[in-house]
Amino acid sequence: MANTAANSFYGTGRRKTSSARVYLRQGSGKVSINGRTLDEFFGRETGRMIVQQPFGAVQLDGKFDVEAHVEGGGITGQAGAIRHGITRALMAYDETLRSPLRKAGFVTRDAREVERKTIDRFWGIV
């Protein structure tokens, strides 16, 4: 969570097994994920909505361009990781945004993982 250049802000986001590196720059609201546009990367509206939530929570829609590199996990986990990264980058931009972002529930990492299946559970021997 650091200011990497004069007007570029960085945040790392994680959810489940997904990890995202997010860079924010002053701009017009373009979102690039792994070199693809938001619409190309997320086929469903829910993924696109999750990624845009932090900007709506602090009324900064269309003020920043986002460049994200995400890997691991599935589509929903990747969307959550990008949202977490955007949140952390916004806090690097302006620390006063922490309170509304926390109230919206975006600051805390969702650390839930899929529970490992064991042979005992599979056979009903608990």
> What does the pLDDT look like over 52-109, one tens digit per residue?
999 999 999 999 999 999 999 999 999 999 999 999 999 999 999 999 999 999 999 8
Distances (CA, A) of 45 to 48, 66, 73: 5, 18, 18
With tokens 């924010």, the residue in question is 24
pTM of the full structure: 0.86
With tokens 């972002």, the residue in question is 101
Report the percentage of the chain scoring pLDDT > 90. 77
User: Where does the pLDDT of residue 111 fall: very low under 50, low under 70, confident under 90, or very high at 90 and above?
Assistant: confident
Can you give the pLDDT at residue 6? 66
Can you give the pLDDT at residue 55? 94
Dihedral, CA of residue 48, residue 57, residue 94 and residue 30, to nearest 10: 30
Can you give the pLDDT at residue 11? 96
CA 50 to chain centre: 8
Report the percentage of the chain scoring pLDDT > 70. 89
Can you give the pLDDT at residue 42? 94
**SS3 call for 34:** coil
Number of other residues whose CB lies within 10 A of the CB of residue 126:
6
Q: When comparing pLDDT for 45 and 112, which is higher?
A: 45
